[in-house]
Each structure stands twice: as structure tokens, then as C-alpha cells.
Structure 1
């Protein structure tokens, strides 16, 4: 199965890691998803971009929006694949030039897909959605490659936005278990962690 091969390839290049990792929230996690590594490998990069572009093709979007910085390479290639434009949301207003929060030509009423690589709480995507809306964009979908299954997609849906992920972390681990790459014990420890650390709100 193609997607199983893709998950295994992500694991083998180190984009899916197991151990002890401190997240930006300060919480310690037994796994880490690093899709910044994947863009170094054209075969993986292309397959992920194609999968996402195919998933977004039903939404009749005008522009793809990335979030500074990790999702910009993904949003750029997805937009290219779909023959759409790209804009991106900055982390903060730059102190020079035009002092924009959104780079690119976002026009009022444009149908927008907001893209990110991995979702945990959904906070960064929700912030981007609100900024795009404030600038006149019509966000019709938010999409990520991997859902850490800690409540982020539901938080986005509470904003009235369609939201989906190509892969969930448990589905990915199941593929790795079934192929003898990680143990059932590790899978169970990840599930235990997710149950204890699921967020209740993304706002």
C-alpha cells in the first residue's frame, strides 16, 4: 500500500521519532514529528504534496496559505501542484517595509486553504484563520499532514472551518508496529500519553 510505504519512509529518514522530547508547550512527549526533514527528500516531499493537493482539489480554493515558517515549503508546493497562488501568515508584524501580517496578494472574498505540517492544539492554525478572515479571506478548509490527536482538529472545527489531516499519529504507529519497526509496548505508551494530554480547547 502506497501510504504505508510513505509512512515507513518518513520513519526511516527520522521524520517520526520516539524518545523523550519537550514540546513548545513545555509538555514532554514520547514521540516527535519533524516534517522539516521530509522536504530534504524529493521522493517523500513529492508524494506528500500530491496527496494533499488531491485532498484539497474538491474545495474549489483560490489560494493556499502557509504559516511562518515550517509550513511555507509545503504550502508553496501544494499551490504549485494545484496551479493556485500562495500567501503566508507571519508570526508577528515585521518592523520595516509594509509591516504586514500576511505576505502576498490576498483579495477580499478569496477562498482560502490554510496549511500546516503537524497539529497539536490547533492554536497556530486558528490564529492564521482569524488573521486571514480579518484581511477579507474566506477560509474554507484547514489541512495538515499529521494530526497528533490531541484535540487540534476539533478546535478548528469549532471555528466553523472544515479541517482534516492526511495521517493520524496512531494510524502511523500502527503501520510501524505491523511492519515490525516499533513495539506494541511503545504504541501503548503513546496512546497513554495522548489520553492524558488531549487538549480541551484550541482557542
Structure 2
């Protein structure tokens, strides 16, 4: 099958995003301080997308690509608002809402309790029937995305897409969490794109590349082996 123009642009864009993540220091390999995921897995690589916000050139190029993907895969002109869950995705969602000239909506992790009647789970203007795009910084297993999409759906919003800068691309559970809600995930790049750029540019030595490769291909096995090693070390 011959790739069309968007497929080619999508691939080139993913590698560009991955390169920006690496060169701005968002990707950190640290086998001595493992990254712990909510699923219980651990990995030797960390990703901190907030650092990208400090680099205007990289930030703007990524935003250009983000808007292009939203227009191609989501239908930017059909959207009524951009939403973000409480956390690291807020600045990116705000910037994208500004680019698309759309309202921005903030979703809290939990509904406010007690006497905080002036606060709501959803802050901002939403109307029943509005098509809302949920924008986040990254996605692992999709559990958090489903958690933020649910109150929007309960408010009568049409939430059928989630857009993230970065998706791990290794957790099958993401489909289990989002498919029942009728939500499709869209991501600019994954760990596989980062690994390809690392391999091309020799950003890390062979040992580091091998460990990352081993984790991505079987994260459960990598976790089990390294937790066992840490356990033996503690006993000693």
C-alpha cells in the first residue's frame, strides 16, 4: 500500500516531535531512579513534556503539527470547545484552544466537596450537544483520559476524541478504557518514535538503547526482572 501525503507528514511529524523531546531534555534515561506508572510498571525512561514550553521554536513547531493533526483526524472546524483535565495538559490545551479560536474548559479530578458551591467539576462554558476535544500532555493506559471524559459526557457533550502530545504506545489497556466510551486516541508521537530517533542520532550509548528497547518490547517482563533485582539488593 502506497502511503498518502498525510501518512508521510504524520511519520515525519512524529519523528520531529520525538527529536524535540530528546533535544530539549524532556526524555531522561535513569535506570537508578525508575519511573513508576499507576499500572504498577516501572521503566528506565522518564518523560517531562512541560520542559517543551520553555523552548518557543520547538513549542510552536509542535503546535503547528498538533493543529494540523486535529484538522486532519478530528475535524477542527466541527469542534465547539477544547477541554483539559487538571494537570500537565492544561497549558497545551490552552495554546491549542487559542490557535483554533475555541473556548477552553477545565475539568477537575474530583467534584469539589463541602461549601465550595462556586466551584464545579467542569469550569468554563459547555453546552449540551457541543463537540469537545479533550487535550492532554501524554497517555499511558488511558485510565486518566476516561476519568476526565466522563463528566463531559454527563454534561451532554459529544466527546469522541482525545488528543495527546505523547502516547506510550505499549499499553493495550488504553483501548479497554477508551473504547467503551466511544473515544479515539490521537497522538503526535510514541516511545517507538523516540527510540528510532535515539538510534539514528546516537543520543544514548548502546547499553541505554538496549534497556529501553527491552522495556518497550515487554514492559511487564522488564518490570518483574528489575523489581526482583532491587528486592535482592535490599535483602543483601
121-130 or 150-159, which deviates more: 150-159
Question: Please, which runs of 5 or more residues in structure 2 have no aligned partner?
Answer: 1-11, 222-236
In 2, the alpha carbon distance for the partners of 1:62 and 1:185 equals: 48
SS, match of residue 99 in structure 1: coil
Structure 1, gaps ≥5 residues long: 199-203
Residue equivalent to 2:219: 196
Matched, 1:15 2:26: yes
CA distance in structure 1 between the aligned counterparts of 2:107 and 2:197, rounded to whole angstroms: 34
Residue 3 of structure 1 and its aligned partner are, at CA, apart by 5.3
> Conserved in 1, the CA contact under 8 Å of 2:41 and 2:219?
no
Q: Which residue of 1 aligns with 2:175?
A: 154
Asked if the contact 2:165/2:187 (under 8 Å) is kept, the reply is yes
Measure the CA separation in 2 of the matches of 1:44 and 1:147. Answer: 18
Which protein has the bigger strand share?
1
Q: Secondary structure at the match of 2:43?
A: strand
CA distance in structure 1 between the aligned counterparts of 2:196 and 2:179, rounded to whole angstroms: 26
Is 1:34 aligned with 2:56?
no
Partners of 2:180 and 2:112 lie apart in 1 by 30
Q: Is the 8 A contact 2:105 2:122 kept in 1?
A: yes
Question: Per-residue CA shift, 1:139-193, capped at 9, x if unaligned?
Answer: 0211111111223542323432121211011111111210111245433422332
- C-alpha change, 1:5 and 1:111, in structure 2 (3 Å) is closer
Q: TM-score, normalised by structure 1?
A: 0.87
Residue in structure 2 matching 1:52, options 66, 74, 77? 66
**Normalising to structure 2: TM-score of the pair?**
0.76
SS at match of 2:127: coil
1:88 match: secondary structure:
strand
Distance 2:160 2:13 in 1: 28
**Are 2:115 and 1:102 equivalent residues in the alignment?**
no
Q: Is the 8 A contact 1:174 1:187 kept in 2?
A: no
Note the alpha carbon deviations across 1:88-125, whole angstroms, 9 max, x for none.
Answer: 21112234242311110111000011111111111110
Question: How many Å apart are 1:65 and its aligned residue?
Answer: 0.7
Greater helix share, structure number: 2
